Amino acid sequence: MKTLIIYASKHGTTGEVAERVSRLIGINKCRVVNIDEEILPSLSKFDSVIIGGSIYFGHIQKKIQRFCEIYTEELLQKRVGLFICCMKRQAERFEFNNAFPSVLIDHATAKGIFGGEFKFENLNFVEKLVVRKNIGINKSVRRINAQSINHFAILMQ
Ligand SMILES: Cc1cc2nc3c(=O)[nH]c(=O)nc-3n(C[C@H](O)[C@H](O)[C@H](O)COP(=O)(O)O)c2cc1C
């Protein structure tokens, strides 16, 4: 069983989670691809595809959105896992449902909302302002849900 893990990450958290999922499934069974930095391999080589991104201003990265739209039909022929990293607990379900096409969500074997983190020192001025005002946090916080990641990886094994 070969698994492709495609992700987008602005400050590294989703990348870290993607690597963690690959270790849990087995690094020799997985290929991890950062959609911003690498050329996508052909999906035909994989039985399973995991897609993950992080939420900014309510939305997942555009490249992840486009990937899901373009490859919906092909993805429906495979086992699919979908996950997001995000920090607004009260909005996370809505953000997940908004991040991926509903047909893919219905088809997915595993769905994950893994929490996230704010690395305050890495945020630019505007990002700091937004995080303070909209999310009410003004220091670095890490809130990754390890249990959800483990459960997700078991379902995708
Ligand atoms: C400027 C900014 C806006 C954000 N907007 C949201 C948001 O609308 N909803 C949410 O749940 N999390 C939001 N987050 C939290 C991120 O989703 C979280 O920090 C995530 O771990 C980032 O992952 P990444 O480093 O892989 O990009 C925001 C973070 C920043 C810095």
For residue range 61-83, what is the model confidence (pLDDT) as tens digits?
999 999 999 999 999 999 999 99
CA of 9 to the centre of ligand 1 (A): 10
To test the pocket of ligand 1, the residue of 97, 135, 143, 148 to mutate (highest count of ligand atoms within 8 Å of its CB) is 135
Domains and CATH numbers, the chain: 3-116+144-156 (3.40.50.360)
Structure tokens at 45: 């080589």
pTM of the entire structure?
Answer: 0.97
The percent of residues above 90 in pLDDT, for the chain, comes to: 89
Ligand 1 centroid – CA 116 distance (Å):
7
Q: Is 88 helix (H, G, I), strand (E, B) or coil?
A: coil
Structural contact between residues 61 and 8, judged by C-beta atoms closer than 8 angstroms: yes
Half-sphere exposure for 76 (CA within 13 Å, toward CB): 11
CA-nearest of 96, 95, 101, 85 to 143 is 85
For residue 9, how many other CB atoms are within 10 A of its CB?
A: 19
Backbone angles phi, psi at 142, to 5 degrees: -125, 120
Tokens of 146: 């390890």
